[in-house]
Copies of this chain bind each other. A is one copy, B any other.
């Protein structure tokens, strides 16, 4: 079978060797002669998986035991609610910046639970840039940002100096580049982009933020309950966490974030250079804020779309259709996407220009 180049925005591409191990574990996990899908999550073999999955996050972020790592079900969308449920006090406020659809949803959930101060927004230009120059108040309970905008393709290249706890949704660029994780008090990420399959969400929280809420807490929404239970307060999403562990192990064994950042930079440079050079395509995002993970571009003439769609099929390029709010194309260059796939996409773009540009 011919290789498919998978540019899907999420769930997205995973390393081939991880998929192979995942497939094997469905039949025979750890030589137990039992499937991973039918053994107790309290078995020592699985507890070892969960422990490694949690430790790998700390290793890759280079942080110590001042942080607690957990894996929960429900997706990043559940974190939009859990963050204010745990951190927003009765008469306090939270500060958010609005940089896209997911930030908008996070703001909506926080407003249900308390006061929200939206410091800045890029909605005026369809979220095609990252707002700068805002001031984070000293007296809010926390500041929330979204490091990368999956839909519109804008990415925060730096993070503000923050006088209050800083919370970041890193769902679509987790472990894609070097950042100083110690700046953050809470990082969360739905797994289904750089980290694993859909079905689990990673949360890393500073221990001193746990248990500070005064309201009576529903157990499943309480970070402290899950921290105490070491992500096993209830049955965890066993298989999704296992595949996330394999993916993070793959990243660490190959050289970690420093290694992947270089490759991600090469992939992004290659594609953005072609977009800027090619007369048939145009990027949608302000140059300085262009995402290295989700590259959005439009055809310069609407009639190009049908022809380019045909060509991408010939080249086995999959998952390139842009989000309906943006149109055109979105190439997601997640960690597991090889440079080769970007090379093939660029080849297709060049061929397209030579055939159709007038």
Per a CB cutoff under 8 Å, which of B2, B40, B73, B200 touches A10? B40
- A6 to B35 alpha-carbon distance, docked (Å): 10
Contacts of A319 in B (CB 8 A): 39-40
Beta-carbon contact of A217 and B8 below 8 Å = no
Contacts of A105 in B (CB 8 A): 219
Is A182 an interface residue when CB atoms closer than 8 A count as contact? no
Contacts of A112 in B (CB 8 A): 216-218
Is A78 an interface residue when CB atoms closer than 8 A count as contact? yes
Beta-carbon contact of A37 and B81 below 8 Å = no
Beta-carbon contact of A34 and B6 below 8 Å = yes
Is A318 an interface residue when CB atoms closer than 8 A count as contact? yes
- A9 to B42 alpha-carbon distance, docked (Å): 11
The contact size tier of chain A is 35 or more
The digit string for A315-326, where 1 denotes a CB below 8 A from any CB of B, is: 000110000000
Beta-carbon contact of B33 and A1 below 8 Å = yes
The digit string for A7-26, where 1 denotes a CB below 8 A from any CB of B, is: 01111111000011011101
Beta-carbon contact of A240 and B243 below 8 Å = no
Beta-carbon contact of B198 and A239 below 8 Å = yes
Beta-carbon contact of B109 and A238 below 8 Å = no
Is A32 an interface residue when CB atoms closer than 8 A count as contact? yes
Per a CB cutoff under 8 Å, which of B9, B13, B238 touches A197? B238
Is A108 an interface residue when CB atoms closer than 8 A count as contact? yes
A277 to chain B, nearest CB (A): 29
Number of copies: 2
Beta-carbon contact of A234 and B11 below 8 Å = no
Is A236 an interface residue when CB atoms closer than 8 A count as contact? yes
Complex: chain B residue closest to A171, CB-CB: B235
Per a CB cutoff under 8 Å, which of B12, B27, B28, B41 touches A11? B41
- A219 to B112 alpha-carbon distance, docked (Å): 10
Complex: chain B residue closest to A219, CB-CB: B109
Complex: chain B residue closest to A81, CB-CB: B218
Beta-carbon contact of B33 and A11 below 8 Å = no
Beta-carbon contact of B9 and A37 below 8 Å = no
- A270 to B26 alpha-carbon distance, docked (Å): 30
Beta-carbon contact of A26 and B33 below 8 Å = no
- A78 to B144 alpha-carbon distance, docked (Å): 25
Contacts of A240 in B (CB 8 A): 199, 237, 239-240
Complex: chain B residue closest to A233, CB-CB: B77
Contacts of A216 in B (CB 8 A): 112
- A238 to B240 alpha-carbon distance, docked (Å): 9
- A336 to B38 alpha-carbon distance, docked (Å): 10
Please name 9 further chain A to chain B contacts, defined as beta carbons within 8 Å, in addition to the given A37-B196, A73-B73, A80-B220, sorted by A numbering: A2-B33, A6-B34, A10-B40, A11-B38, A34-B318, A73-B199, A81-B221, A105-B219, A198-B238
Nearest 3 CB-CB pairings of A with B: A73-B73, A199-B237, A23-B26
Q: What are 17 contact pairs spanning A and B, CB under 8 A?
A: A1-B28, A4-B33, A4-B34, A8-B40, A10-B235, A11-B38, A22-B26, A23-B23, A37-B198, A40-B319, A74-B220, A75-B220, A80-B220, A112-B216, A113-B218, A199-B236, A240-B240
